Amino acid sequence: MLARLFTTMIVLFFLLAAGDRLLKGFIEVLPRFSDKRQAVDIASQIQRQIGGYLFTITVMNAAVGLVTGLAMWACGLGDPILWGSAAFLMNYVPILGPLAGVGMFSVIGIVILEWPYALLPPAVYLLIHIAEGEIITPFLLAKRFTLNPVLVIVSLFFWHAVWGVPGALLAVPLLAMFKILCDRVEPLQPVGHIIGS
């Protein structure tokens, strides 16, 4: 697992460090000016939309972390910074992160609290996640792009199998980038429609 994490971090570092050179080289080899212009437009759109997506997700995750930390403190678990930070980080992984959070708060509730109150932390966390994941975040992101939930899950499992936890974190942005590319390249537009449906 550490080897996958290290490999992913190295690949991401070099992509970030040499991304402009890689794009420039790709554009230089395209034969027609219209192709070069389309490639620059696609790269700009990917950068804008993924940047907006990551900013929105980070703000929402921070809100989830803050509310979760305060809620767990109110439930009697103490240390709101720990629980808020855990919720903030786990919420970056769609579906699996919140499920892991429910499991974590179930175990913590059973260990720390007495029986009827032990169910309160996972129930509160689940309500917070449902409000965020099913109402607020889709409302904020719906204007940017929509992704097929089945394909999000398939992408999540695929990239998790390839790169572990970092792959799970990158699964949605990679799928969104592929959808943007498909939407802009005419022969791939049916694939983009399927990804967005």
Of all residues in the chain, the percent with pLDDT exceeding 90 is: 19
Question: C-alpha angle 33/38/40, rounded to 5°?
Answer: 95
CA distance 164 to 166: 6
CB atoms closer than 10 angstroms to residue 84: 21
Note the pLDDT tens digit of each residue in 75-129.
888 888 999 999 998 888 877 888 899 999 999 989 888 888 888 999 999 999 8
Lowest-confidence region among 1-5, 81-85, 151-155: 1-5
Residue 191, CA atoms < 13 Å, CB-side half-sphere: 13
Whether 185 contacts 41, CB under 8 Å: no
CA distance 38 to 97: 36
Note the pLDDT tens digit of each residue in 21-78.
766 776 777 778 777 788 778 878 887 888 888 888 889 999 999 999 999 999 888 8
CA distance 144 to 194: 16
Whether 145 contacts 189, CB under 8 Å: no
Residue 84, CA atoms < 13 Å, CB-side half-sphere: 16
CB atoms closer than 10 angstroms to residue 102: 16
Among candidates 24, 70, 66, 62, which has minimal Cα distance to 43? 24
CB atoms closer than 10 angstroms to residue 18: 12
- Helices 80-90 and 33-75 pack at an angle, to 10 degrees, of 150
